[in-house]
Amino acid sequence: MPATSGSALALAARLRALDDDALTRLVTDRGVRQQGIRDFFDLAEALLDRASVQTALQRLDRPTLALLAVAGELAATTGAPTAGQLADALGATRQEVDERIATGVAAGLLGEESGRVAPWDAVVEQLTAWPAFGLPSRTELVGGTPPPALEPVSESDARFVDRGAGDRAFATVTAVTELLLALRDEPARQLARGGVALPDGRRLAALAGVESDQVDVLLDIASRAGLATLEGGSWSPSGAAAAWLAGARLERWAALASGWLERLPDELRLVLRQLAHAVWGERLADFVTWLYPAGGDWIRQRLSTVGHEAELLGLVGGATPSTPGTALLVDGVEAASTAMADLFPAEVEQVYVQHDLSIIAPGPLVAAVDNRLRGLADVEARGVASTYRVTGASLTRAMIAGETSASITEFLTGISLTGIPQPLDYLLADTAARFGTLRVGALDPGATSGGGFGMASYVHSNDTALLHQLAVDQNLAPLALRADDEHRLLSRIDMAPVYWALADARYPVVAEDAEGRIIELRRERRVGAGGALSDDTAAILVARVRSGSAVTPEETGQAWLARQLETAVKNKMAVVVSVRLPDGSDVDYHLEPASMASGRLRARDRRADIERTLPLSSITAVRPA
């Protein structure tokens, strides 16, 4: 059974027996740093560090803390208890005790062996010291009285909350949609200290139609749903984002709500589910603070973040769960989606095409119409009723993507409640006629003829007046365009920047490959220096401690035994050492190790009260006394 002495040895052995996934989870959950950790003994000592133990205890609820405190007391007096003995001492069911034991073991705070459990020394010491820091004692953990019950949600409160829940949920779905589309065009840099870089934050806020301080929250909501990823210090849409953007708005909301629920911190999920029919407010914070007595600002901050995102998703309103929010917590995403369907504005499939080249949608457009319309028009206003504007540049963009004058006319005719106004007809005809007349391409790096030496790209057109306009346009001066012949300009700048400079200046430009075929370009993704790294440090640490013990994978390996004895010497631990005698039999000695040198252990035999010197080669096993 696990002893409350010799914790480092016992914990190191347990860590060694874990698979990589479980070990990685433990390292991640405990926030173990890589520095100075070479093997399982170093990792065990890091996990038993008093500061690390306190951090882990902060994340445990009162019932689990009570189990640790009682198990520690019983282990010190009558021996490590069984789950049944703990259930009797705590007045809890066996299932409840088993769940709490599993939580303590998974957190690396509790040892378990042969049906008996006990917390490690550092855990017992930390809990014993709690009252001196204003934290509950063992008696208070076991017998503490919770705050008064929260007030149940009334029918009138639910109706009031639901009226605003649908609007907030719709607005958040719209904002996340715009955010992902903006990230698809150009990723956003994440600062090392946290948060999106200011220029990117302002850009995303403007495109999503939200305040700048909401961008990080929306990114978190998208990330929880698996729609946005942080790689190389930059945010970009995930592989799942395209399918999400193609879905109906209610389906998009369901995915966001599901992501919020699935990524809900373990310490809050059960609490919120139990209180799904109650008014939350400040009394919820008081209850959570009581339930997590060592949580302090950490648990309140978590609750605040979860509550704010729930508010944006229409799951709560004024700290009161909405009907969809209650359904999500109690019955799951499908039930929540059914409840939210009654609160969401209905989607439409037709629009008003105006003479000023604007397109007005009287309601949220179905995804297929909205996505195609965005391909040939720019979004000007977002909301329940959105506004789009057709320009020559937007039509050129559509044609580069494969649209034709005929396909655009057919599409707009099918969705327009007002037909195709004459100004739009003229613009479409003019854009189609000019399409492909101004082309940008890459020069062969080895080209030397025709003034091409040192040049990277060209701009070609049969319209000499248009080329002359480009050459004298001061906005394009950074491109340093120079004439090669009457139909071509050259630049030392690569093709993509030249193309985007012309496109941003609203010239009808297209890009072409070496064979003259029109190709579609996307803006290059930027990776900002100093961004957050995506290295899996936990996995790296696990690989390191595995390699540190790989030379002797057997439990009786000499290096593993030596490391156990070194740890016992360092921490003045009493151990039981099994020694193989010349006749092949084994004998156990209860020793207090004093030193390790030249392959020999010098230790005090506690029972015989003599000093022994044993060759390491004769030792077959070491365990805590």
Instruction: Give the contacts of 562 (CB within 8 A, at least 6 positions apart).
Output: 596, 616
Classify residue 375 as exposed, middle or buried by CB count within 10 Å of its CB (0-12, 13-18, 19+).
middle
> What is d(CA 325, CA 331) in angstroms, rounded to the nearest whole number?
10
Which residues, at least 6 apart from 223, have a Cβ–Cβ distance to it below 8 Å? Answer: 229, 230
Classified as helix, coil or strand, 563 is helix
Mean pLDDT by 10 residues, the chain (625 residues): 55 85 87 80 87 92 94 92 94 93 93 91 93 92 84 83 91 93 89 86 90 92 93 89 91 95 84 87 85 88 90 90 93 94 90 94 90 91 88 88 90 93 93 88 69 80 89 87 89 89 85 87 54 54 72 52 77 80 83 83 84 84 75
Which runs of consecutive H residues, i.e. helices, occur in 186-280? 198-208, 215-224, 241-245, 249-262, 266-274
**C-beta neighbour count of 101 within 10 angstroms:** 19
**pLDDT value, residue 139:** 92
Would you say how long the chain is, in residues? 625
Q: Any idea which residue has 């739009």 for tokens?
A: 424
For strands 352-353 and 358-361, give the pairing: antiparallel
With a CB cutoff of 8 Å and minimum separation 6, the contacts of 317 are 160, 161, 162, 164, 165, 168, 311
- Closest C-alpha to 87, from 96, 99, 78: 96
Residue type, 50: R
Give the sheet arrangement for strand 352-353, strand by strand.
352-353, 358-361, 386-389, 378-381
Give φ, ψ of 510 to 5 degrees: -130, 160
Give the Cα separation of 32 and 15 in Å (integer): 14
Helix 50-58 with 40-47: angle, nearest 10 deg: 60
Sign of CA dihedral 417, 423, 427, 428: positive
Pairing of strands 575-580, 386-389: unpaired
Distance, in Å, from the CA atom of 608 to the CA atom of 530, rounded to the nearest integer, reads 62
Predicted pLDDT at 529: 38
Residue in the block written with tokens 């190790």: 593
Cα 445 off chain centre by = 43
> What is the per-residue pLDDT for 143?
86
**CA-based radius of gyration for the chain:** 34
Residue 223 φ/ψ, nearest 5 degrees: -65, -40
How high is the pLDDT of residue 2? 43
Distance from C-alpha of 382 to C-alpha of 55, rounded to nearest angstrom: 44
Residue 56 CA to residue 70 CA, distance in Å, equals 18
Contact between 327 and 357 under an 8 Å Cβ cutoff? The reply is: no
Give the Cα separation of 565 and 337 in Å (integer). 59
What CA–CA distance (Å, rounded) separates 251 from 246? 10
Please, which residues have CB within 8 angstroms of residue 288's CB and are 6 or more apart in sequence?
A: 268, 271, 295, 299, 300, 303
> 10 Å Cβ neighbour count for 31?
10
Q: 0.95 exceeded by the pTM?
A: no
Local structure of residue 152 (DSSP, 8 states): B
Q: Dig out the tokens for 338 from the structure.
A: 């059914």
Question: How many CA atoms does the CB half-sphere of 129 hold within 13 Å?
Answer: 11
